[in-house]
Every structure is written in structure tokens, then in C-alpha cells.
């Protein structure tokens, strides 16, 4: 899989927990889109939990289904599991119905994958909103289960967040692949220092100097500075209202 200055195989990413971290504008979404494109091309279906509808065009153009709370979560998850089809759950309404849909869809995927193991990657954009550190909900419970126990059922997970310190630590620290984009805040640098097998001072110098699309890849005990290629799927502009709606809704 051609990701930019580096490549990973299907085997590298299937059934793994992958963390994509970095400040706003560091390139997380682009990097995740490149990963998703390549996974789908390799026949590895993806389900994206998408709070800003940023991945709708990408998943749709690669043959996946776009879902909202108006769809039937049990029916769609059953079809997607059976057919190995990709999907994107448009959460941009950020309302009670969207969360109810997400919970039922993921819970059903979890049950179905017990009966019949099939590879799938669940991508969680803005992961700190769904699996926050120190808070438990039905959604956080099912995503945590998928992340920590999904491997045997064929399920891998990609957690994307600009607020690494706010993502559930039990899940984040279980990641097998880290793609660490630029951060500058001491709180985030502290998280990186805990993850990376580097001297704290090296982390403090290297990480804030990363350019857009550059990241430190850490897997299997090795670190490597990489640069992602640009995804052709940049098309969607985030509506200004969606983050405001999010502030007012509790899961």
C-alpha cells in the first residue's frame, strides 16, 4: 500500500489498533483518508464514524454506503458484514438519533463478527468525543470492546484525535501502530513522550518541527519519520455549525 514516503501491507494494518494523533491542520484526516483508500483497494472494508461528514465523498466514491440515523442500523450492519461492504456513518447532525444509530450499528457488528469472523477496520474520527478519558457511555463501551477485543473477530480500529490527552488511555496505549503528527502543547508532548521510545528532549525537538503531512510512525518497536501523500479526496468543507452542535450534546 503506497502511503507516501513509506508503505504498509494489508497484513500490517488488518486487525490492528492504530492511533493517528496531531494538532488541527497537521494532516491527520488526510493521512487517515490515504489509509482508508488503500485499505478499501486491498479489499479490507472500512466503517468510518464521521462527525463532520469529511469522509462521505471518499467512502461513497469507493463503493461504500453513506449512513445516517434515518437508516436501519441492524439491517445495514448485517448487509455490510455479510457483503464485506464499506460504510461511513454521517454523525454531523450530532443528535440523540445519530448516537442511537451508531450504538446499534456497532453492537450488531460486534455480535455478527462473533458468529462469522470477517476483517473490517472501524475508523473513529475525533476519538476523544467517543471514547473520552474518564467517562463511560454505551458508545464508549462498544468502541472500547471493538478496540481491545476485536482482533480475534477480524476487527481493527483507527483512532484519530487532536486531543491525545483526552482519549481513553486504556485504549490509546494498546495501539500497535502510532502515526504521530505535529503537536506543540506540553500536555500532548507528554503523551508522545510516554508512547515513543526516544529521549524526552528528542521528542520535544522533533515533534513540533514536523511539517503538514509528516508524522513519526512507531510500530514493532521502531520509529521512522514519514510523509503521507496527498489524498485526492479533499472535497468536503466542514459546516461551521457542526462543532457548535457537538458542544451542546452529551453522549
Q: Taking the chain, what is the end-to-end CA distance rounded to the nearest angstrom?
A: 36
Q: Which is nearer to ligand ATP, 24 or 222 (CB)?
A: 24
Segment holding 39, helix H or strand E = helix 28-41
Q: Which is nearer to ligand ATP, 20 or 143 (CB)?
A: 20
In the complex, least distance from residue 228 CB atom to ligand ATP, rounded to whole angstroms: 4
Using an 8 Å Cβ cutoff, are 231 and 32 in contact?
no
In the complex, least distance from residue 54 CB atom to ligand ATP, rounded to whole angstroms: 7
Using an 8 Å Cβ cutoff, are 199 and 185 in contact?
no
Q: Which is nearer to ligand ATP, 108 or 162 (CB)?
A: 162
Residue closest to ligand ATP when measured from CB atoms:
213
220 Cβ partners below 8 Å, 6+ apart?
none
If one counts every other C-beta atom within 10 angstroms of the C-beta of residue 78, the result is 16
Q: Which is nearer to ligand ATP, 55 or 103 (CB)?
A: 55
Segment contacting ligand ATP (CB under 6 A): 75-83, 89-97, 106-114, 228-236?
228-236
Identified binder of ligand ATP from the candidate list 230, 236, 242, 246, rule CB under 6 A: 230
Whole-angstrom Cα distance, residue 29 to residue 116?
A: 31
Residues 40-79 that bind ligand ATP (CB under 6 A): none
Residue 228 binds to ligand ATP (criterion: CB under 6 A): yes
Mask for 5-44, x = binds ligand ATP (CB under 6 A): -----------------x-xxxxxxx--------------
What does the chain come to in residues?
251
Q: Which is nearer to ligand ATP, 100 or 212 (CB)?
A: 212
Residue 164 binds to ligand ATP (criterion: CB under 6 A): no
Q: How many residues bind ligand ATP (CB under 6 A)?
A: 14
Note the helical H segments in 116-198: 127-130, 138-149, 169-172, 186-195
Identified binder of ligand ATP from the candidate list 77, 86, 87, 162, rule CB under 6 A: 162
Closest by alpha carbon to 28, among 179, 135, 173, 143? 179
Sheet with 87-90: list strands edge to edge.
65-67, 87-90, 46-50, 120-124, 155-161, 17-21, 177-180, 214-219, 222-227
Identified binder of ligand ATP from the candidate list 142, 183, 213, 217, rule CB under 6 A: 213
Which residues would be at the binding site for ligand ATP (CB under 6 A)? Answer: 22, 24-30, 162, 212-213, 228, 230, 234
Amino acid at each position: 500500500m503506497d502511503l507516501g514516503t513509506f508503505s504498509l501491507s494489508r497484513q500490517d494494518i488488518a486487525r490492528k489498533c492504530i492511533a493517528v494523533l496531531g494538532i488541527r491542520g497537521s494532516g491527520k484526516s488526510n493521512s487517515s483518508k490515504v489509509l482508508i483508500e488503500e485499505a478499501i483497494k486491498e479489499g479490507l472494508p472500512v466503517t468510518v464514524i464521521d462527525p463532520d461528514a469529511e469522509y462521505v465523498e471518499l467512502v461513497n466514491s469507493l463503493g461504500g454506503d453513506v449512513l445516517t440515523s434515518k437508516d436501519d442500523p441492524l439491517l445495514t450492519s448485517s448487509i455490510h458484514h455479510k457483503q464485506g461492504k464499506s460504510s461511513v456513518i454521517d454523525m454531523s447532525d450530532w443528535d440523540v438519533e445519530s448516537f442511537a444509530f451508531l450504538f446499534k450499528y456497532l453492537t450488531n457488528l460486534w455480535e455478527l463478527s462473533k458468529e462469522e469472523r470477517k476483517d473490517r477496520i472501524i475508523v473513529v474520527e475525533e476519538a476523544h468525543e467517543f471514547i473520552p478519558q474518564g467517562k463511560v457511555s454505551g458508545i464508549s463501551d462498544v468502541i472500547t470492546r471493538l478496540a481491545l477485543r476485536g482482533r480475534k473477530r477480524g476487527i481493527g480500529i483507527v483512532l484519530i484525535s487532536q486531543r491525545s490527552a483526552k482519549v481513553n488511555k486504556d485504549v490509546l496505549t494498546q495501539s500497535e501502530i502510532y502515526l504521530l503528527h505535529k503537536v506543540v502543547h506540553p500536555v500532548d508532548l507528554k503523551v508522545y513522550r510516554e508512547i515513543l521510545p526516544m529521549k524526552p528532549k528528542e521528542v520535544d525537538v522533533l515533534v513540533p518541527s514536523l511539517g503538514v503531512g509528516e508524522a513519526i510512525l512507531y510500530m514493532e518497536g521502531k520509529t521512522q519519520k514519514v510523509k503521507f501523500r496527498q489524498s485526492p479526496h479533499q472535497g468536503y468543507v466542514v459546516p461551521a455549525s457542526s462543532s457548535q452542535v457537538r458542544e451542546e450534546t452529551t453522549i
